[in-house]
Amino acid sequence: MSSLKIQFFYGIFILFITTALIQQCFAAEDSSKALSIGKITVTADKRKENIQEVPSAITALTETNIEDADIENVNDLVKFIPNMFSGSSMQGYGEINFRGISLSQFTGKNPVVIFIDGIAQDHYSNYVVDMTNLERVEVLRGSQGTLYGKNAIGGVINIFSKKPGNDFETKITTQAGGNETYRIKAFANGPIVKDKFFFGLSGNYYQTDGYMKNDHPDGGHFDDEESLSLKSSLRWIPSEKMEVNFHAGMSQRWDGSGVQIAANSGEVEYHAHKNPDDKSEPTSSNTALNIGYEGNNFDFTSISTYSYNEMDAWMDQCYIKDTRPVAICDSDNRIFSQEFRIQSPDKKQGIKWLGGIYYSDDDLEYTDNAMLYDTKAWFGHDVKYNWADNIKENTMAAFGQMTFPLPGRFAFTAGLRYERVNKEMDYRYELTRTDTGAILPEDPFMPGSPTLITYNIDDNWDAFLPKGVLSWTINKDAMIYASVTKGYLAGGFNLCENIKERAKFDEQSSIDYELGAKTSWLDNRLIFNANLFYMDIKDMHVYYAPDPVTYLTSNAGKAHSQGVEVEVKARPVRGLDIIAGFGLVDAEYDKYTNSAGKDCSGKTLVRTPDYTLNLALQYRHSTGFFSRIDMQGYGQNYFDDANTVSQKAYEIYNAKIGYEGSNWDIYLYGKNLFDKEYFSFGRTNAVGLIANVGEPQTFGIIVSRRF
């Protein structure tokens, strides 16, 4: 055992001794209520239920959980979800891998859909979330389609902002840390008209110089980042039966080139030679109108959303290889959706039912999706290969499910979704000289190749997606369930395929089997939930780069993913919480020959750690003392489909200690305490491995004030 791990276990021992001493010094009368972990109410099945009574794998985090763990974004969140792994691409796009299913490159879809107050986010260019002023987060693991308008092949992250009420509340939080890192965030909620009309406002500003040194003569760091997000909400209760909620938000990031390096040596380095003009600047705005009516015989919900997302990126890839081009992206994406849902009232006993219809219109346009080559010394001008495509997608769906109570505390849920997706692409490939914008008469690198290609292609994908769940409530503290669900993701078109007949790739589907148990022990002082899963995957979307300029998606024949997930919460003594999550997965290609002609059958699916582990010990005393130590561990994961390049297993340890007053808090924190060097994410292309360097050891302070 390494000396660093020995230090960690010493740290745990000291924490327990400290806890025992404090417990003696500040002894108070024990009660089962004080030791109980408490119930968490979720709306995973579109009705309010105790999370322990919902027959599916769910992780729920309250506002306090989010703040204790310093969760600020999606990457922070997924560290606490079994078998979930995230990272960002060269242009700052967000990617999630869950149980082996990764981003579908040219549908742009992540396997896990994020809902922010009803607004669906699944495209990699808009995977940005502000975690300020939240009530809770619910993560549903497994394919979801019979309860949600937006279909999800891997899972759902539901993010709920606080609903403002009659009580006025305000909080401001400031943070300062290493690498010139600063954050200030605040929110205010309160009434405009008592009992009728309320408002919520929040904002979050973040800035860091970064930790990746630039070897360019100009110096500095190339992973600097600045971001600003704002949210507002209005809540109107016109009657006892009706509620109207309006959400509006925006975010803007100004990033350098991220933390990527050319990592063919396999060594972690905190420096590289990059162009100081590199940038990745995503912008997003979104609105949602949610109208809810609670009737005597049914509840009705209408959710209307609109979002607009832009990306402006310029990435000089000279750090990969001297002859690499500059990657340019200038795109905008407009998405409108409408969902109507009707369901049985929450309080109604007996059969529970829900049905809905959904429509969305998605328009993604690239002004530039280009590679720019510095050829002025050769030809007197630079040349640009550009795929200025326009992709339109319309989705229509009808969905529903019913839960039937059966004798002996059994229940059966049957669900069905019908989905039809129409996609159309106006394809435009052009090779131009950058000084005049004129299309070149021939390709200087590949004489005889066309320099202008246009075509239009469209197609439809439709599917019926069934779901069945059988659950047995053994007693008030234990339930077991078994489910079978079909997962589905429509196909699409490659953005960089000059030959129309080869542009299309097929849908991806899976049959997902799950067996789970939810239990609580010792008067709810210990919660132990576990599930087994098996996914039979067909036509998985795979991504490859046949040459340094072209990037394509195709389908792997077959794959499977199987494993186990465990979540534990325990409160052995008052104030001390032990929180753990573990995921073990065996995910392999069953039938797949890659673009290089190599048979990858039996190889592990890319960017899929063979295990994920999170563990936290946290102590909170009534006097205000707070301490927390946590760890996230990841098994080996491969960056290429042939399994030749990988990141070995690693663990990251963090700590936090502070004091919580009646209206103010102060904490000191340390991240990556043992300064572990690792690659947090990576992918291969035609010239090798591009990998993200994990954050080194950092320390900082957080101060909050409530009004």
DSSP 468-492: EEEEEEEETTEEEEEEEEEEEE--E
Our count of domains for the chain comes to 1
Whether 439 is covered by a domain: the verdict is yes
SS3 (DSSP) at 607? coil
Whether 7 is covered by a domain: the verdict is no
pTM above 0.75, yes or no: yes
> At 357, which helix (H) or strand (E)?
strand 352-373
Cα→Cα distances 213→152, 207, 227, 294, 697, Å: 39, 17, 20, 57, 15
Residue range 548-569: mean pLDDT, rounded: 85
pLDDT at 34: 60
Q: What is the CATH number of the domain that holds 334?
A: 2.40.170.20
Cα→Cα distances 138→148, 418, 562, 658, Å: 14, 25, 23, 27
pLDDT value at 35 more than 90: no
What count of Cα atoms within 13 Å lies in the side-chain half-sphere of residue 104?
30
Return the bridge partners of 563, or none.
Answer: 533, 585
* CA atoms 376, 379, 381, 382: torsion sign: negative
Whether 14 is covered by a domain: the verdict is no
Strands of the sheet with 155-161, listed across from one edge: 58-62, 134-141, 155-161, 109-116, 119-123
Q: Of the given ranges (102-111, 192-201, 485-494), which has the lowest mean pLDDT?
A: 102-111
pLDDT value at 46 more than 90: no
Helices (H), 490-638: none
pLDDT at 551: 67
CB 177 within 8 A of CB 698: yes
How confident is residue 128, by pLDDT bands cut at 50, 70 and 90?
confident
Q: Which residues of 481-520 are buried (b: 16+ CB within 10 A; e: fewer)?
A: bbbebbbbbbbbbbbbbeeeeebbbebbbbebbbebebbb
pLDDT value at 264 more than 90: no
Whether 10 is covered by a domain: the verdict is no
Q: State the Cα–Cα distance between residues 479 and 472, nearest whole angstrom.
A: 6
Q: Of the given ranges (217-221, 441-445, 639-643, 683-687), which has the lowest mean pLDDT?
A: 683-687
pLDDT at 437: 92
> At 12, which helix (H) or strand (E)?
helix 3-25
pLDDT at 545: 66
Tokens of 450: 């066309």
Q: State the Cα–Cα distance between residues 362 and 490, nearest whole angstrom.
A: 14
Whether 4 is covered by a domain: the verdict is no
pLDDT at 91: 61
pLDDT at 18: 43
pLDDT at 90: 59
SS3 (DSSP) at 297? coil
Q: State the Cα–Cα distance between residues 413 and 81, nearest whole angstrom.
A: 25
pLDDT value at 232 more than 50: yes
Best-predicted range by mean pLDDT among 116-125, 282-291, 311-320, 372-381? Answer: 282-291
pLDDT at 266: 86
pLDDT value at 511 more than 90: yes
pLDDT value at 23 more than 50: no
Mean pLDDT of the chain, nearest integer: 90
Q: What are phi and psi of 642, to 5 degrees?
A: -85, 0
Q: State the Cα–Cα distance between residues 469 and 251, nearest whole angstrom.
A: 39
pLDDT at 547: 57
Residue 472 belongs to domain spanning: 31-706
Q: What percent of the chain has pLDDT over 70?
A: 93
User: Which pLDDT tens digit goes with each residue over 648-659?
Assistant: 999 999 999 999
Q: State the Cα–Cα distance between residues 155 and 168, nearest whole angstrom.
A: 35
Residue range 653-666: mean pLDDT, rounded: 96
CA gyration radius, the chain: 26
Strands 352-373 and 390-406: antiparallel
pLDDT value at 10 more than 60: no
Residue range 346-373: mean pLDDT, rounded: 93
Number of neighbours of residue 366 by Cβ within 10 angstroms:
21
Q: State the Cα–Cα distance between residues 175 and 704, nearest whole angstrom.
A: 9
Residue range 298-307: mean pLDDT, rounded: 96
pLDDT at 548: 52
CB 635 within 8 A of CB 647: no
Among the listed residues 138, 116, 78, the one whose alpha carbon sits nearest the alpha carbon of residue 229: 116
> At 629, which helix (H) or strand (E)?
strand 625-634
Strands 260-262 and 299-316: unpaired
CB 261 within 8 A of CB 693: yes
> At 411, which helix (H) or strand (E)?
strand 410-433
CB 435 within 8 A of CB 381: yes
Q: Of the given ranges (79-83, 362-366, 439-443, 687-691), which has the lowest mean pLDDT?
A: 687-691
> At 542, which helix (H) or strand (E)?
strand 526-544
pLDDT value at 11 more than 50: no
pLDDT at 59: 95
Tokens of 242: 């009706």
Residue range 477-499: mean pLDDT, rounded: 94
Q: What percent of the chain has pLDDT over 90?
A: 78
How confident is residue 538, by pLDDT bands cut at 50, 70 and 90?
very high
Contacts of 208 (CB under 8 A, 6+ apart): 179, 180, 181, 182, 224, 225, 226
> At 653, which helix (H) or strand (E)?
strand 650-660
User: Which pLDDT tens digit goes with each residue over 136-189?
Assistant: 999 999 999 999 999 999 999 999 999 999 999 999 999 999 999 999 999 999
Number of neighbours of residue 439 by Cβ within 10 angstroms:
11
pLDDT at 685: 76
pLDDT at 520: 94
What count of Cα atoms within 13 Å lies in the side-chain half-sphere of residue 574?
16
Number of neighbours of residue 215 by Cβ within 10 angstroms:
13
Strands 155-161 and 109-116: parallel
* DSSP output for 326-350: EEEEEEEEEEEEEEEEEE--TT--S
Decide which of 552 and 608 is more confident.
608
How confident is residue 550, by pLDDT bands cut at 50, 70 and 90?
low
Tokens of 341: 């849902």
Whether 616 is covered by a domain: the verdict is yes
pLDDT at 571: 94
Whether 18 is covered by a domain: the verdict is no
Strands 155-161 and 134-141: antiparallel
